[in-house]
Amino acid sequence: MTKTVIKVGMASCGIAAGARPVYEYLQEKLGDREDVEIKQVGCIGLCFREPLVEVEKDGSRIIYGEVDIESLDKIIEQHVLKGTPVKEKAIISDSFEAPENKTLDKQVRIVLRNTGIIDPTKIDEYLEREGYKGLTKALEMAPDAVIDEILESGLRGRGGAGFPTGLKWRFARKAAGDEKYVVCNADEGDPGAFMDRSVLEGDPHSVIEGMLICGYAIGAQHGIIYCRAEYPLAIKHLNIAIEQARERGFLGKNILGSGFDFDIYIKEGAGAFVCGEETALMASIEGKRGMPRPRPPFPANKGIFGKPTNINNVETLANVAWIILHGASEFNKYGTGKSRGTKVFALAGKIVKGGLVEVPMGMPLREVIFDVGGGIPGSKKFKAVQLGGPSGGCLPESELDTPVDYESINATGAIMGSGGMIVMDEDTCIVDVAKFFLSFVQNESCGKCPFCRIGTKRMLEILERICDGKGTPEDLTLLEDLAYKVKDGSLCGLGQTAPNPVLTTLKYFRHEYEAHVNDKKCPAKVCTNLIHYTIDPNTCIGCTKCARVCPVNAIEGQVKQPHKIDDSICVRCGQCKSVCPVKAISVE
Amino acid sequence: MTCVVNESTAGMQQILEGIIEKYRGKPGSTIGILSAIQEKFGYLPEEAMDYVSQSLNIPSAEIFGVASFYSMFRFKPEGKYVVRLCRGTACHVQGSWLIGEQLQRHLGIEEGGTTEDGLFSLHYVACLGCCSLAPVMMVNGTVHGRLTPDKAVEVLESYRLEGKE
């Protein structure tokens, strides 16, 4: 008799959505049955339906979404014990129509090939799915042949800049020195991007294997994973994976009898966005302030502790073993132009199916957002999509036919970045978003270059003026002028790209800036100094709900009498509007 | 998590020696040492940084320079419950600033502050990576998602009850 396998999505996001009590309940009810195996797996990407429980029984596979204890009882009773799936809770099924079947159809999973499928704390499950076969194959090849294969695949850095990975490896191989380093950049700091976390939590061995292949190709002995401290579960799973890889002889001396020595340790970051920049990252690994330095010398020649160093990000490395095992031509059949393979995007914001998706490069933005992501919730209108985090830009509806590849996205003024895709609807104020990103980079600027340190501060002040209704038409000119100066006057990627959110919004949404400046209006009704809440006395039924919810007691009125908002006290939090049963409260 | 230890100087030295010994001779260990100290004391006491400086012969300006560069390090004791409100992009477009304002009003502290009873500290952080549950906040190690201003206050009140027990 084959076992029934039950998998619970237990990445950070799943746990946050309540997966732990679900897992514990399953253990309590079914833990001692020999015909049932209960597993903790990573994130399959359907975050909007979390907590997720997958049941594999009698050769069929069904994923249940938004599982709570009540529905779990039903799933155990009907499906696990009696073999009849609970159709109304199923979101994915290989045997009948289920609402999210199509969400996965358009995806191609190379990076996410194992996340949500295997238990990341068990190396055997990774081995069962071709784990370490890429390494085995690489060790039989000459190091230069490994580099050629990666070059031919067209793999480019997935952390943002898109530099050809094979070329980077070649530079590091050619660099003189007996001692070399491979660094995995797991300092995923872009607000809105979480694919690296998901891979590290759900499939840590794929990253370790990628680092091993890189180490072999460039002739390195040391591997360092620089992981942000905000990802405790990722660090835990990495530690387990490294330990298991050592036990099985994939890490350490004379790996698989090849004579190749390589080991990996983890270095935790301490909270600094700029440390995602490679020279700052190296300074941080050396225990210093994470300040970028000019290049050359490039890390390939003079990296950590002065030794040749190759730095790749998590997603890039997770592709490597697959490419070596399946061949460059299998990889580069996906994609378009100079952008080959797939890209993982983190869909979030005002989108129906928020989560992680992996699609072939070249898919138009519209298809990613509306077909894979399910579009905008409610009957709201799409306004913009923000790509590339604080270094990227906001694109309007008219740019939605842009294919997701490095060159096409760069041409719009945004960047691919690490793959954060935040969707905004008509209720999002674009000037406020620009202000948000500016305040982020302002905070995170290391302070080395005056233009980045002071220029972004001045830009932020201008944006604050505009949002407060005190902006002048000259402010827009000044803002644009400063933006270009900050770009030109900064040493590293942070400063050079910091103005992008402002420049793209000025390019595509100038009318919204002008409404703030000329008409002193915020069209999205977000900027607090430009909006006022009022109660229509003819509609108000005096139910007192608004007065009770108001956090600053700005609403007065007797029961069953029309209420009134004191505008001088009101903090524009909008809670009154959201509780009013008769829609008597409006904002102008 | 963070447990505030009120050690006598001698006791503190003993703890620090234990931490420093683990890292002595390993280059690039400053951040690791500081993290270990913070884990032990809940923050970075000035005397502790001075002690590390003398013991490892690193100027204390350099130690403080590193500590003040990274947002994770604190120079004051934290509250029993450390509230980290996510101010990432996804949380922002879902209205996390309203939650921040509500929490500040409710706790009577500014961002970065600690309540007088030592129960809560409030911090705004860059991104917790739970974007599809936005807006989110983390209280000690636990993430709470899909918040509204009201729900966030409710969550804190449940911790307050737990803290009094």
SS (H, E, C) A468-510: CCCCCHHHHHHHHHHHHHHHHCCCCHHHHHCCHHHHHHHHHCH
Verify whether the Cβ–Cβ distance A551 to B149 is below 8 Å: yes
Q: Which residues contact A24 (CB under 8 A, 6 or more apart)?
A: none
CA dihedral B18, B24, B26, B28 (to 10 degrees): 80
Nearest-CA residue of chain B relative to A45? B132
Q: What is the pLDDT of residue A1?
A: 64
Interhelix angle for A510-518 vs A500-508, to 10°? 80
Q: How far is residue A123 from each of residues A60, A205, A222, A358, measured CA to CA in Å?
A: 24, 8, 21, 24
Q: How confident is the model at residue B164 (pLDDT cuts 50, 70, 90)?
A: confident
Of A287, A289, A424, which is closest to B29 when you measure between CB atoms? A287
Verify whether the Cβ–Cβ distance A192 to B98 is below 8 Å: no
Residue B148 one-letter amino acid? T
A271 to chain B, closest Cα gap in Å? 5
Q: What is the pLDDT of residue B41?
A: 92
CA neighbor of A116 nearest in space, from A222, A198, A5, A234: A198
Q: What is the pLDDT of residue B163?
A: 80
Q: How many Cβ atoms sit within 10 Å of the Cβ of residue B115? A: 16
The secondary structure element, H or E, covering residue A125 is helix A123-128
Q: How many Cβ atoms sit within 10 Å of the Cβ of residue A160? A: 23
Angle, CA A68 vertex, CA A66 and CA A70 arms, to 5°:
130
Instruction: State how far the Cα of A403 lies from the Cα of A337, in Å rounded to an integer.
Output: 11
For CA atoms A120, B86, A351, A441, the dihedral sign is negative
Please report the beta strands in chain B, taking only residues with DSSP state E, as ranges in sequence order: 81-86, 120-125, 137-139, 142-144
Q: Do β-strands A263-268 and A222-227 pair in parallel, antiparallel, or remain unpaired?
A: parallel
A106 to chain B, closest Cα gap in Å? 20
The secondary structure element, H or E, covering residue A513 is helix A510-518
Instruction: State how far the Cα of A26 lies from the Cα of A68, in Å rounded to an integer.
Output: 11
Verify whether the Cβ–Cβ distance B127 to A191 is below 8 Å: yes
Residue A495 one-letter amino acid? G
Verify whether the Cβ–Cβ distance B149 to A573 is below 8 Å: yes
CA neighbor of A51 nearest in space, from A91, A85, A18, A87: A18
Of A273, A349, A444, which is closest to B93 when you measure between CB atoms? A349
Q: How many Cβ atoms sit within 10 Å of the Cβ of residue A588? A: 9
Model pLDDT for residues B65-98, shown as the tens digit of each residue:
999 999 989 999 999 999 999 999 999 999 999 9
- Mutating which of A288, A314, A430, A441 best tests the B interface, going by the most B Cβ atoms within 10 A? A288
DSSP letter for A271, please.
S
- Mutating which of B132, B142, B143, B156 best tests the A interface, going by the most A Cβ atoms within 10 A? B132
Of B31, B35, B98, which is closest to A284 when you measure between CB atoms? B31
Verify whether the Cβ–Cβ distance A16 to B101 is below 8 Å: no
Residues of B in contact with A292 (CB under 8 A): none
Model pLDDT for residues A455-510, shown as the tens digit of each residue:
999 999 999 999 999 999 999 999 999 999 999 999 999 999 999 999 999 999 99
User: Which residue do the tokens 């919810």 mark?
Assistant: A549
Answer whether the bond into residue A51 is a cis peptide, omega within 30°.
Answer: yes
B126 to chain A, closest Cα gap in Å? 6
Largest CA distance in chain A: 86
**Cβ pairs bridging A and B (under 8 Å):** 151
Residues of B in contact with A575 (CB under 8 A): 98, 149-150
Instruction: State how far the Cα of A267 lies from the Cα of A225, in Å rounded to an integer.
Output: 6
Instruction: State how far the Cα of A235 lies from the Cα of A244, in Å rounded to an integer.
Output: 14
- For A167, the token pair is 């070329």
Instruction: State how far the Cα of A489 lies from the Cα of A495, in Å rounded to an integer.
Output: 8
> How far does Cα A508 stand from its chain's mean position?
24
Nearest-CA residue of chain B relative to A230? B128
Nearest-CA residue of chain A relative to B38? A270
B128 to chain A, closest Cα gap in Å? 7
DSSP letter for A331, please.
H
Per-residue pLDDT of chain A (588 residues; tens, 9 = 90+): 689 999 999 998 898 889 999 999 999 999 999 999 999 999 899 999 999 999 999 999 999 999 999 999 999 999 999 999 999 999 999 989 999 988 888 999 999 999 999 999 999 999 999 999 999 999 999 999 999 999 999 999 998 889 999 999 999 999 999 999 999 999 998 888 999 999 999 999 999 999 999 999 999 999 999 998 888 899 999 999 999 999 999 999 999 999 999 999 999 999 899 999 999 999 999 999 999 999 999 999 999 999 999 999 999 999 999 999 999 999 999 999 999 999 999 999 999 999 999 999 999 999 999 999 999 999 899 999 999 999 999 999 999 999 999 999 999 999 999 999 999 999 999 999 999 999 999 999 999 999 999 999 999 999 999 999 999 999 999 999 999 999 999 999 999 999 999 999 999 999 999 999 999 999 999 999 999 999 999 999 999 999 999 999 999 999 999 999 999 999 999 999 999 999 999 999
Give the helix ranges, DSSP H, for A140-277.
143-153, 165-174, 195-202, 204-218, 232-247
Instruction: State how far the Cα of A404 lies from the Cα of A397, in Å rounded to an integer.
Output: 15
Residues of B in contact with A348 (CB under 8 A): 89-90, 131-132, 134
Residue pair A43/A356 in contact by the 8 Å Cβ criterion:
yes
Question: Quick one: A459 exposed, middle or buried, by C-beta within 10 A (0-12, 13-18, 19+)?
Answer: buried
Residue pair A416/A160 in contact by the 8 Å Cβ criterion:
yes
CA R_g for chain A? 26
pLDDT at B1 over 90: no
Of A16, A197, A446, which is closest to B136 when you measure between CB atoms? A16
Q: What does the pLDDT average to over B124-152?
A: 90
Nearest-CA residue of chain A relative to B27? A286
Phi and psi dihedrals of A355, rounded to 5?
Answer: 160, -160
Q: Side by side, which strands form the sheet with A60-64?
A: A36-41, A4-9, A53-57, A60-64, A90-93
Instruction: State how far the Cα of A342 lies from the Cα of A133, in Å rounded to an integer.
Output: 21
B55 to chain A, closest Cα gap in Å? 16
**ipTM confidence score:** 0.90
**Residues on B contacting A at a C-beta cutoff of 8 Å:** 27-32, 34-35, 65-66, 69-73, 87-90, 92-94, 98, 101-102, 105-106, 125-134, 136, 141-145, 149-150
CA neighbor of A311 nearest in space, from A135, A160, A145, A149: A160
- Mutating which of A440, A548, A570, A572 best tests the B interface, going by the most B Cβ atoms within 10 A? A440
Q: How many Cβ atoms sit within 10 Å of the Cβ of residue A198? A: 30
Q: What is the pLDDT of residue B3?
A: 45
Q: Which residues contact B104 (CB under 8 A, 6 or more apart)?
A: B110, B111, B122
Instruction: State how far the Cα of A375 lies from the Cα of A369, in Å rounded to an integer.
Output: 6
Interhelix angle for B60-69 vs B46-56, to 10°? 130
Q: What is the pLDDT of residue A102?
A: 85
Of A271, A428, A446, which is closest to B93 when you measure between CB atoms? A428
Residues of B in contact with A494 (CB under 8 A): none
Residue pair A264/A251 in contact by the 8 Å Cβ criterion:
yes
Q: Which residues contact B116 (CB under 8 A, 6 or more apart)?
A: none
Residue B118 one-letter amino acid? G
Q: How far is residue A410 from each of residues A155, A160, A372, A417, measured CA to CA in Å?
A: 18, 11, 22, 10
Residues of B in contact with A554 (CB under 8 A): none
pLDDT at B7 over 60: no
Q: What is the pLDDT of residue A200?
A: 97
Of B66, B87, B98, which is closest to A289 when you measure between CB atoms? B66
For CA atoms A454, A459, A462, A464, the dihedral sign is negative
Q: What is the pLDDT of residue B4?
A: 46
- For B92, the token pair is 């922002």
Of B28, B69, B131, which is closest to A289 when you measure between CB atoms? B69
Instruction: State how far the Cα of A306 lies from the Cα of A180, in Å rounded to an integer.
Output: 9
Answer whether the bond into residue B135 is a cis peptide, omega within 30°.
Answer: yes
The full DSSP string for A528-567 is: GGG--EEE-TTT-----HHHHH-TT--EE--TTS--EE-T
